[in-house]
């Protein structure tokens, strides 16, 4: 019988459909659960963004501004780049997909350092490309090993800095040396979804690298620092030529009206940004201290999330904590079956996570 879809699609595994929290709570007979599983901003959306949405609601009968004029104008001022070097997407996920649709032929290879954001593999496989995964070294991206894996078939390299799920970051100098070695016809995607959380100022930053490689594309998002994950909006910057090619592939109305307005306003919300950074940095320090006291190893992070090594298996702990209404992420699907990933929550959420974890550990010690 003739195959229904393209071969590459046959081989894909669907993203596991999560249930809405309300439905999960109903099934488990619990309420007031907390979610620390998706690296979201725990304090809510930027209030200036919310106001901007309310102000634009009446214009929803109109299509969005396909050029994202005001958002790009604001970004252009902040980044110091002309608008022609900026592209806006329906989340940075869309920009990853756009890059692959713009540059990848089915026979091409893409290199990533693994574990990393699982979406790269999914999109590359879906496009019929071949993903080459280079293992991390002590939770860090091994740029020498990534360089060594480049072949004439390599079309693209995906670098997530800081890296999800490890939270570790590459230095500016090592990234500069790496880029100098990458062949000029290989596209380098630098996904900086979490860069604003980094406290180490010496880490790599696409803005400082934007002229070091002709096909470097840096991507950022409003989903994390600005608390707008539900709206779906992100941006990228690259050379004018690269942005021009990506714009040819992009759907004209890919970024919706409310998302554009909210993102533009959020960029002015200094109070919200500084409150978010305080919550994340204070939360990390608190959680690290408590985990030290409990003797649990963790991977220090430059982001709003981090990995914790647990003695009873991550999947088992995930299920145990879910029953108590604490939603964490097992790293088994990232090839790290003894690790969980949590994002920093509100102070009371961090406390509740630790209490639930302690209970689970005690239970495990009595019945391993
Ligand atoms: C590394 C990385 N890149 C991109 C994204 C997605 O960002 P967006 O919500 O802008 O699509 C995430 C979200 O979890 C992420 O972890």
Span from the CA of 223 to the centroid of ligand 1 (angstroms): 7
116 CB near ligand 1 (under 6 Å): no
pLDDT of the residue at 187: 98
Q: How far apart are CA 116 and CA 149, in angstroms?
A: 17
**CA nearest to 234, candidates 195, 199, 208:** 195
Q: How far apart are the first and last CA of the chain?
A: 50
pLDDT in tens, 92-138: 999 999 999 999 999 899 999 999 999 999 999 999 999 999 999 99
Whether the model pTM is above 0.95: yes
The strand pair at 326-327 and 86-89 is best described as: unpaired
List, by residue range, all CATH 3.90.1150.10 domains of the chain.
270-366
Instruction: Return the pLDDT at 16.
Output: 65
Q: Are 110 and 96 in contact (CB under 8 A)?
A: no
**93 close to ligand 1 (CB < 6 Angstrom):** yes
Asked if 331 and 342 count as a contact pair (C-beta separation under 8 A), the reply is no
pLDDT category at 365 given cuts 50, 70, 90 is confident
3-class DSSP state for residue 158? strand
Atom 3 (ligand 1) nearest CA? 193
Q: Where in the chain is CATH 3.40.640.10?
A: 47-266
The model's pLDDT over 44-93, given as tens digits with 9 standing for 90+, comes to: 999 999 999 999 999 999 999 999 999 999 999 999 999 999 999 999 99
- Which CATH topology does 270-366 take? 3.90.1150
Domain 47-266: give its CATH architecture: 3-Layer(aba) Sandwich (3.40)
Please, which residues bridge with residue 285 across strands?
Answer: none
- Spatial distance between the Cα atoms of 47 and 60, rounded to a whole number of angstroms: 20
**Cα separation, 86 vs 88, whole angstroms:** 7
Distance CA 281, CA 303 (A): 9
């Amino acid at each position: 019988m003739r195959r229904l879809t393209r071969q590459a699609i046959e081989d894909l595994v669907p993203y596991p459909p999560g249930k809405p929290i309300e439905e999960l709570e109903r099934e488990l007979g619990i309420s007031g659960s907390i979610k620390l599983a998706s690296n979201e901003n725990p304090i809510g959306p930027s209030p200036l963004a919310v106001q901007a949405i309310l102000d634009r609601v009446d214009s929803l009968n109109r299509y969005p501004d396909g050029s994202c004029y005001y958002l790009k104008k604001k970004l252009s001022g902040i980044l110091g780049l002309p608008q022609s070097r900026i592209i806006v997407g329906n989340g940075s996920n869309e920009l990853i997909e756009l890059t692959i649709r713009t540059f990848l032929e089915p026979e091409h290879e893409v290199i990533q350092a693994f574990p990393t954001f699982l979406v790269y593999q999914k999109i590359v496989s879906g496009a019929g490309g071949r993903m080459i995964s280079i293992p991390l070294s002590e939770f860090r991206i091994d740029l020498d090993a990534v360089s060594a894996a480049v072949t004439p078939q390599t079309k693209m390299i995906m670098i997530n800095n800081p890296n999800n799920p490890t939270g570790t970051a590459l230095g500016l100098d090592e990234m500069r040396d790496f880029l100098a070695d990458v062949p000029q016809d290989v596209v380098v995607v630098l996904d900086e979804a979490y860069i604003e959380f980094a406290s180490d100022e010496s880490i790599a930053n696409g803005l400082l690298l934007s002229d070091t490689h002709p096909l470097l594309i840096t991507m950022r998002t409003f989903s994390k620092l600005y608390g707008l994950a539900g709206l779906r909006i992100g941006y990228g910057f690259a050379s004018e030529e690269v942005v021009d090619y990506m714009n040819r592939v992009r759907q004209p109305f890919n970024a919706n009206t409310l998302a554009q307005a909210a993102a533009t306003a959020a960029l002015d919300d200094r109070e919200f940004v500084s409150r978010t950074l305080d919550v994340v940095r204070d939360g990390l320090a608190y959680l690290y201290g408590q985990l030290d006291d409990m003797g649990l190893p963790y991977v220090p992070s430059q982001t709003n999330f981090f990995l914790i090594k647990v003695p009873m298996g991550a999947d088992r702990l995930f299920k145990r904590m879910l029953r108590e209404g604490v939603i964490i992420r097992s790293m088994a699907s990232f090839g790290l079956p003894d690790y969980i990933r949590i994002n920093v929550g509100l102070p009371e959420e961090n406390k509740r996570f630790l209490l639930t974890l302690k209970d689970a550990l005690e239970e495990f010690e009595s019945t391993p």
